[in-house]
Amino acid sequence: MRLSRLFVDQALAVHDTIQLNNDSAHYLRSVLRTKKGHSVILFNGEGGEYQGEVSEVSRKQVLITLSKFNDRSVESNLNITLGLGISRGERMDFSIQKSVELGINQICPLVTEHCSIQIKNDKKEKKVEHWQKISQNAAEQSSRTINPKVADITIFSDWVAEQAGTKLFLDPYAKISLTEIQNDTKQITLLAGPEGGFSEQEREIAIASGFTPIKLGPRILRTETAALAALTAVQTLWGDFNDH
């Protein structure tokens, strides 16, 4: 039977007994129907994971006693940041979830000219918390040992000016493909637009900030398809998709 994996935002050590937060406790107790004595894996994003055993399940609390540390990692040799134009509802959720499965390290939701959704200031924090939970669940499911960060919602022009490494933005009208890029760094920054794509002014700002426009084949891809296709290609060319 596959062991449940949970992210916990606290220090971990062998022989510690950990009290799960309300969400994780509810998931084990009410969704998985976990019983005392069942095995569970915990990780906190600091490397490796801990095997533990459920030592108490009650309406008040769920406790996990840690018994073994496994120094393992499925992380890519690349450190990948994705700047993602905010798209509507499930498209954004899907992009975040699958990006984490593909090995992203950080996702930055961006306000662009063609965003089809406007998030009010008093709703931004809650929205980022929602996306961070999606990232956490994807990290748990995909056996990652870090919890990729979803950054605060940022204005496009502010974000592009602060990026480093090999900087690429996805542009269906670009003249070069990803295979033509000469990359000698482990820091990759990808920029993907919302449903309406980038404006001409945003393209100019990105290029002025050192981003190289690249195309992903002859077809125009939807926002959620483009980001995931680019991540897959980057991991294949320079990352761990060719590891044996």
CATH 2.40.240.20 in the chain, residue ranges: 4-70
Q: Is 89 a residue whose pLDDT tops 80?
A: no
* Residues 170 and 193 sit within 8 Å (Cβ to Cβ): yes
Owner of token pair 């509810």: 26
Nearest to 144 by CA among 5, 51, 1, 3: 5
CA angle (134 as vertex; 187, 93 as ends), nearest 5: 85
pLDDT tens per residue, range 115-154: 767 788 888 899 999 999 999 999 999 999 999 999 999 9
pLDDT tens per residue, range 180-198: 998 989 999 999 988 778 8
Nearest to 187 by CA among 106, 95, 70, 99: 106
Fold observed for domain 4-70: Ribosomal Protein L25; Chain P (2.40.240)
Q: To the nearest 5 percent, what fractions of the chain are helix, strand and coil? A: 30, 25, 45
pTM of the model: 0.88
Q: Position 216: which residue type?
A: L
pLDDT tens per residue, range 39-50: 999 999 988 999
Alpha helices of the chain — where are they, by DSSP H?
22-26, 90-101, 121-141, 156-160, 200-208, 223-237
Enumerate residues 6+ apart whose C-beta is below 8 A from 89. Answer: 117
Backbone angles phi, psi at 97, to 5 degrees: -55, -50
First to last CA, the chain: 25
How far, in Å, CA of 44 to CA of 81, rounded? Answer: 20
Q: Position 7: which residue type?
A: F
Question: Span 79-237: which CATH code?
Answer: 3.40.1280.10
Q: Position 178: which residue type?
A: L
Q: Is 1 a residue whose pLDDT tops 70?
A: no
CATH 3.40.1280.10 in the chain, residue ranges: 79-237
